[in-house]
Chains A and B, each alone.
Chain A
Amino acid sequence: AQKITQTQPGMFVQEKEAVTLDCTYDTSDQSYGLFWYKQPSSGEMIFLIYQGSYDEQNATEGRYSLNFQKARKSANLVISASQLGDSAMYFCAMRERENFNKFYFGSGTKLNVKP
């Protein structure tokens, strides 16, 4: 089974609107971390936000927030007030405590922000 599933290959959003990028994960570990990365067209991978499995509050970093629903095993990224510079690929990733040597990445979602 896939460890990380991102079901939206591509998304469009109007500038200044909010957008949610979906991510579901599969693990039997009780302790794990969830991460989102952004990859602009220039190619670099930029860390955006982190959520620990034991964190009770949803993580927030500026315009990024993570909608963590543990029972559903989902960790959706919410970008508020989209900007043209948000156009990029977004990857969801997970690291488990039992096998912390591996990061599992989803296939990514390509976000296009329209002016």
Chain B
Amino acid sequence: DSGVTQTPKHLITATGQRVTLRCSPRSGDLSVYWYQQSLDQGLQFLIQYYNGEERAKGNILERFSAQQFPDLHSELNLSSLELGDSALYFCASSPRQSSYNEQFFGPGTRLTVL
């Protein structure tokens, strides 16, 4: 158990809908990262927050948004869902912003868009 929690574990929804994925980082970790992993694909970095502020953006669609709250939990909002958004969404946390800190991953949320 990495200490990072993600809810829900599974989510099934329809095209055009909006969903919110939630992540709680490890205790004390200030950085939160979001990744998308499509079937048989590697990890695509979406976005990163540090202590409530957005710090880096990757291949995140305009239909997607995220935020990190004062208690450091983070939410990833996906709207106008398309079939291609079906994927495993990971949240990861890291204690500080340093090249020497690994990320700890949550169990992921598996999103299925029908």
Which A residues have a C-beta under 8 Å from some C-beta of B? 29, 31-33, 35, 37, 43-47, 50, 52-53, 91, 95-97, 99-108
Contacts and interface: CB of A to CB of B under 8 A. Distances in A.
Contacts of A29: 99
Contacts of A50: 100, 102
Interface residues of B, number: 27
A45 B56 contact: no
Nearest to B42: A107
B97 A101 contact: yes
Given A43-B107, A45-B90, A100 B99 contact: yes
A37 B105 contact: yes
A107 B44 CA distance: 10
A44 B107 contact: yes
A45 B110 CA distance: 14
B32 to A, nearest CB: 11
A64 B99 CA distance: 21
Nearest to B97: A100
B81 interface: no
Contacts of A104: 45
Contacts of B108: 43-45
A101 B41 CA distance: 22
21 contacts: A29-B99, A32-B99, A35-B102, A43-B107, A44-B107, A45-B108, A47-B102, A53-B99, A91-B42, A95-B99, A95-B101, A100-B99, A101-B55, A101-B56, A102-B48, A103-B33, A103-B45, A103-B92, A105-B43, A105-B45, A107-B41
